[in-house]
Amino acid sequence: MVISIIGVGLLGGSFALGLREKYPHVKFIGVDASVVNQKIALAKGIVDEIATLDEALSISELNVLATPVDVINTLLPDMLDKLPEGATIMDLGSTKELICSLADNHPKRNQFVAVHPMAGTENSGPGAAFKELLENKNVIICGKEKSHPDSLGLVEAFLRDVGMKIHYMTPVEHDLHLAYVSHLSHISSFALGLTVLDKERDERAIFDMASTGFSSTVRLAKSSPQMWAPIFDQNKQNVSKALEDYIELLKKFKNAIDDRDTDTSLSFMNRANDIGRILAGIEKK
Amino acid sequence: MVISIIGVGLLGGSFALGLREKYPHVKFIGVDASVVNQKIALAKGIVDEIATLDEALSISELNVLATPVDVINTLLPDMLDKLPEGATIMDLGSTKELICSLADNHPKRNQFVAVHPMAGTENSGPGAAFKELLENKNVIICGKEKSHPDSLGLVEAFLRDVGMKIHYMTPVEHDLHLAYVSHLSHISSFALGLTVLDKERDERAIFDMASTGFSSTVRLAKSSPQMWAPIFDQNKQNVSKALEDYIELLKKFKNAIDDRDTDTSLSFMNRANDIGRILAGIEKK
């Protein structure tokens, strides 16, 4: 069997590394616009060969589309046009509505499986890939009823093999939830990092005074802008609403502090504490 | 020597545990309004005895005031009144301007040392205390020129003994910087947790979809409301300005997303990425 990874970055690379352990006889082909990524992917043993997209597509049973989401949109219709019978494309994009709607209009829709693994780090590129990234993490498959059982079954088997727990959702549900539990926390972190950098021209002060709490809250501000800009754009309505809710709450918090209304501050924080119960579950996973 | 810990919680408890290793002959006395905290502090070996504040004050060479900052304000003037000659009070509060101004008006100002260790976790209470908490962390001493060299020297020696790196600052500088690098990140985290909880009535959805990135960003939302409400109140002007800056930046980010102005989003995120360099330093510490 031949599997192609289109976009050999953190996610695509980690998926390949996780699979290789279980499937020593599968040949992995890498497709990447960056020559540096190609070299690192080969040197790190993520893939066996580098090929062009057309070459890869003509010989692969499974094509894993792991580029930023704007590139997924550009590539997917053309890839479906050229996809041989019996072969499958899965994407790993962080948005699903637009990507699925592009696929829905294509006659080969049932050879496509829309996938979003809830895993990542603030680092990017094949150098950051590691085979345990997807282990014990959740993964969402969207619109599974539109995928052919053979394509779906193959993708599900591979996702389970790298240790993921599969959930199913519509693309609309996916994008709404993700705006809150993922996209918003990235924006809050980017904005927090920038607020502090703008204020603290003397970075020595940040260095000396910031504790590990700051470090943890602002960690996602290291994430790749090239990956996240198109995600926010594709999920613009939900992200905008989530940001509106967040800004509204921050304003209320600020008013409570300005008014020395400690009861309101306390009530905000007591309610927020409840996230602890939920986090306990996430961290155990 | 006798050292009293007034407020045997995460920070006071960890300081005592760190010191005990180096000073097996020091007697540690615990003062705490909570009977549960008293019992846990004794059972965990954080202190040797429980006493009232007046008893502790009458026999201790060093009094470590480790309560929430509103309680520090209430206790400090009276404690200075009763402080025997040659004895020292140090506080561990997260705000410094108001606390130092209370001490500045007292004739025994030079027996007081204003201290803020840049260390903590989202957990609280003596059960969460551990002896390594302060190791390799930074600590700020404010207004050191107002402390008697003997009081200052004793406090500095103990802080170094538990592994801390000492920095000096005015109370005004301290409260300004802390608003940005600590207080703001707590508020952003509380507000993020609450925004998600308000939206996601079905907590199963959060549980299934949130990745470790969300978990890290929202970790501080588990922090103690009783500890943080008075910090925000005492540092209200700086915190309010920091929140204003943060909200302003979030609005600009939201506008860029609404307008599909990817150049501006990218530029925000690229600038925020610079925090990575600084974080690398914090995490190494």
CA angle A99, A100, A103 (to 5 degrees): 95
Express each pLDDT in A175-196 by its tens digit: 999 999 899 999 999 999 899 8
Using the Cβ of A237 and the Cβ atoms of chain B, whether some distance falls under 8 Å is answered with no
**Last residue in a domain, options B169, B201, B219:** B169
Structure confidence at residue B216 (pLDDT): 82
Burial of B16 from C-beta contacts in 10 A (0-12 / 13-18 / 19+): buried
Q: Same domain for A166 and A28? A: yes
Structure confidence at residue A203 (pLDDT): 66
Structure confidence at residue B285 (pLDDT): 44
Find which of B122, B135, B269, B270 to mutate to test the A interface (most A CBs within 10 Å of its CB): B269
Q: Same domain for A156 and A219? A: no
Residue A47's φ and ψ, nearest 5 degrees, are -130, 160
Nearest CA to CA, how far is A276 from chain B (Å)? 5
The more confident residue out of A203 and B45 is: B45
Domain residues for B96?
A: 2-169
Using the Cβ of A135 and the Cβ atoms of chain B, whether some distance falls under 8 Å is answered with no
Question: Which of A11-20, A76-85, A200-209, A243-252 is predicted with the least confidence, judged by mean pLDDT?
Answer: A200-209
A186 neighbourhood in chain B, CB within 8 Å: 213
Q: Same domain for A229 and A187? A: yes
**Total number of domains in chain A:** 2
Q: Same domain for A262 and A155? A: no
Mean pLDDT of A259-264: 94
Find which of B279, B283, B284, B285 to mutate to test the A interface (most A CBs within 10 Å of its CB): B279
What gap in Å lies between CA A128 and CA A14, rounded to an integer?
Answer: 8
- Residue segments in chain B with a per-residue pLDDT below the cut of 50: 285
**Last residue in a domain, options B128, B148, B169:** B169
Q: Which residue of A has its CA nearest to B179?
A: A196
What gap in Å lies between CA A33 and CA A8, rounded to an integer?
Answer: 9
Nearest to A206 among B200, B218, B278 (CB): B278
Q: Same domain for A164 and A178? A: no
Structure confidence at residue A282 (pLDDT): 58
Q: Same domain for A97 and A211? A: no
Nearest CA to CA, how far is A264 from chain B (Å)? 10
Under 8 Å between Cβ of A57 and A49: no
- What ipTM did this prediction achieve? 0.86
CA A174 to chain centre: 12
Which CATH number belongs to the domain containing residue B149 in this structure? 3.40.50.720
Q: Same domain for B190 and B160? A: no
Find which of A169, A240, A275 to mutate to test the B interface (most B CBs within 10 Å of its CB): A275
Tokens of A153: 């079954």
**Last residue in a domain, options A170, A189, A205:** A170
Express each pLDDT in A97-148 by its tens digit: 999 999 999 999 999 999 999 988 888 899 999 999 999 999 999 999 999 9
Q: Same domain for A204 and A124? A: no
Q: Same domain for A81 and A48? A: yes
